[in-house]
């Protein structure tokens, strides 16, 4: 699928009415509404981030970020599905060996929805032709409607961990058909209720080697975009940053719309007429815009370097991850302010403000944008460490 610049964002924007009308359904079902999933496939959005051989458009980082902001602005769960399903299928399509790609993608006309947990919580005993995989994973985002489930694992040779070098264990990702996975659910949470982020496990399941790929792969077997040569970590980081920005933007927009008609008890002045509100809106809107620009700058700078043939250095990776952490922190502060000034309108169940506040305080608990990431990046900048593979 080839698209003009900005077309992928348009695919998401065209879903605004449907997502708004089905957001309550997704929360009630605890997984994304089938109506929304069906439209994501019908429009081409679900596969848009894939490499072209897997039916995608290979969008730039700017297009990916703006698409995720749009999706999260519409609804936090919808946006989270975008940062779960899209990178999962992107990585599998880019890095699976040819036999695995044919089994997973080609055999299904590239109509493949994938979610799961990439952290290596499983162990794969090496056997002839592949691995015997066992393990359990929590918060498998987007698995509620996924035909394939990703599961990170550590390969084991005769009971010993396989090492990739420099004291770093080999970390692989298995791609599993849904019927080989046991779901234990566990998705009873405060926010992001509509994401179907189930817990799951596998017990001594054989996974052929061609349905596995390295977690930190950066040499794509398919796809010509710089993103394909940068690996899953930057794409995932861009997604987390954009998601937080999108949810925060929805709250800033909603409280701005509310301000003209919002009156506090015993106060004849509207919220919009108060200087303190005006100052707060200016400050938080400016902070949001600055965070967005930082994210775009960090990711497009790295993208341009890789496109020109340069290595994706530890410093470039650190810059991207710090931008994601900073954007998340800024977005959370914007959301907190919007929730406070909205007063009782922000606590009524069913309002977008109420749902977005729950969503952002759930999504920003993710380890991928924790303070440890910022510390690792600072240590690279300071020369304390040369690299941190997880960045």
Together in a domain, 126 and 89:
no
pLDDT at 1: 45
Question: Which candidate, 236, 198, 197, places its Cα nearest to that of 359?
Answer: 197
Residues of the chain with pLDDT under 70: 1-5, 262-268
CATH number for the domain that contains residue 135:
2.40.110.10
Quick one: what percent of the chain has pLDDT higher than 70?
A: 97
Together in a domain, 204 and 296:
no
Together in a domain, 334 and 249:
yes
Q: How far apart are CA 172 and CA 124, in angstroms?
A: 9
The answer as to whether 310 is a domain residue is: yes
Question: Which candidate, 78, 54, 83, places its Cα nearest to that of 356?
Answer: 78
| Length in residues, the chain | 391
Q: Which domain holds residue 332?
A: 224-380
The answer as to whether 386 is a domain residue is: no
Region of 30 (left: φ > 0; alpha: ψ -120 to 50; beta: rest) is left
Locate tokens 């900073």: which residue? Answer: 326
Together in a domain, 231 and 313:
yes
Q: b/e map of 195-233 (b: 16 or more CB within 10 Å)?
A: bbbbbbbbeebebebbbbbebbbbebbbbebbbbbbbbb
Together in a domain, 192 and 252:
no
The answer as to whether 261 is a domain residue is: yes
pLDDT at 135: 98
CATH number for the domain that contains residue 84:
1.10.540.10
Together in a domain, 236 and 359:
yes
Q: How far apart are CA 91 and CA 96, in angstroms?
A: 8
pLDDT at 18: 98
Together in a domain, 81 and 164:
no
pLDDT at 266: 61
Together in a domain, 233 and 354:
yes
> pTM value?
0.96
Q: What is the pLDDT of residues 331-364, one digit of tens each?
A: 999 999 999 999 888 898 889 999 999 999 999 9
Residues pairing with 200 in the sheet: 137, 183
pLDDT at 288: 98
Q: What is the pLDDT of residues 130-176, one digit of tens each?
A: 999 999 999 999 999 999 999 999 999 999 999 988 789 999 999 99
pLDDT at 2: 45
pLDDT at 344: 87
Q: What is the pLDDT of residues 102-134, one digit of tens each?
A: 999 999 999 999 999 999 999 999 999 999 999
pLDDT at 339: 96
Look at the chain and report how many structural domains it folds into: 3
Q: How far apart are CA 133 and CA 122, in angstroms?
A: 7
Half-sphere exposure of residue 148: CA atoms within 13 angstroms, side-chain side: 28
Q: The tokens of 221 are what?
A: 């077997």
Query: Euclidean distance between the first and final Cα of the chain, in Å?
Result: 30
Distances (CA, A) of 71 to 104, 136, 150, 234: 26, 30, 23, 19
The answer as to whether 105 is a domain residue is: no
pLDDT at 267: 66
Together in a domain, 303 and 175:
no
- Give the SS3 label for residue 128: coil
CATH number for the domain that contains residue 284:
1.20.140.10
Q: How far apart are CA 55 and CA 356, in angstroms?
A: 32
């Amino acid at each position: 699928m080839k698209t003009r610049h900005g077309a992928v964002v348009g695919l998401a924007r065209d879903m605004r009415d449907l997502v708004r009308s089905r957001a309550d359904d997704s929360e009630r079902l605890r997984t994304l509404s089938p109506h929304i999933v069906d439209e994501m496939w019908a429009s081409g959005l679900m596969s848009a981030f894939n490499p072209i051989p897997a039916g995608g458009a290979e969008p730039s980082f700017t297009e990916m970020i703006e698409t995720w902001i749009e999706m999260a602005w519409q609804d936090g769960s919808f946006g989270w599905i975008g940062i779960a399903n899209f990178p999962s299928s992107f990585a599998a399509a880019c890095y699976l060996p040819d036999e695995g790609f044919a089994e997973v993608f080609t055999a299904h006309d590239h109509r493949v929805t994938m979610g799961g947990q990439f952290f290596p919580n499983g162990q794969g005993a090496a056997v002839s032709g592949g691995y015997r995989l066992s393990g359990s994973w929590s918060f498998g985002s987007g698995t509620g409607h996924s035909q394939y489930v990703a599961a990170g694992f550590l390969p084991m040779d005769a009971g010993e961990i396989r090492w990739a070098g420099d004291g770093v264990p080999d970390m692989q990702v298995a791609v599993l058909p849904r019927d080989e996975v046991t779901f234990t659910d566990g998705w009873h949470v405060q926010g992001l209720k509509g994401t179907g982020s189930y817990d799951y496990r596998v017990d001594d399941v054989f996974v052929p080697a061609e349905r596995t790929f390295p977690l930190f792969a950066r040499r794509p077997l398919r796809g010509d975009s710089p993103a394909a040569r940068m690996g899953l970590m930057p794409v995932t980081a861009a997604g987390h940053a954009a998601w937080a920005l999108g949810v925060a933007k929805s709250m800033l927009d909603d409280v701005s719309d509310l301000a003209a008609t919002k009156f506090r008890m015993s106060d004849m002045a509207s919220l919009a007429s108060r200087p303190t509100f005006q100052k707060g809106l200016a400050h938080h809107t400016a902070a949001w815009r600055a965070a967005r620009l930082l994210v775009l700058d960090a990711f497009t700078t790295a993208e341009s370097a890789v496109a020109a043939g340069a290595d994706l250095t530890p410093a470039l990776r650190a810059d991207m991850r710090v931008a994601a952490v900073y954007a998340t922190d800024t977005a959370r502060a914007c959301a907190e302010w919007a929730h406070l000034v909205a007063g009782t309108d922000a606590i009524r169940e069913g309002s977008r403000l109420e749902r977005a506040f729950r969503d952002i305080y759930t999504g920003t608990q993710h380890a991928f944008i924790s303070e440890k990431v910022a510390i690792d990046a600072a240590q690279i900048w300071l020369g304390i460490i040369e690299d941190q593979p997880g960045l």
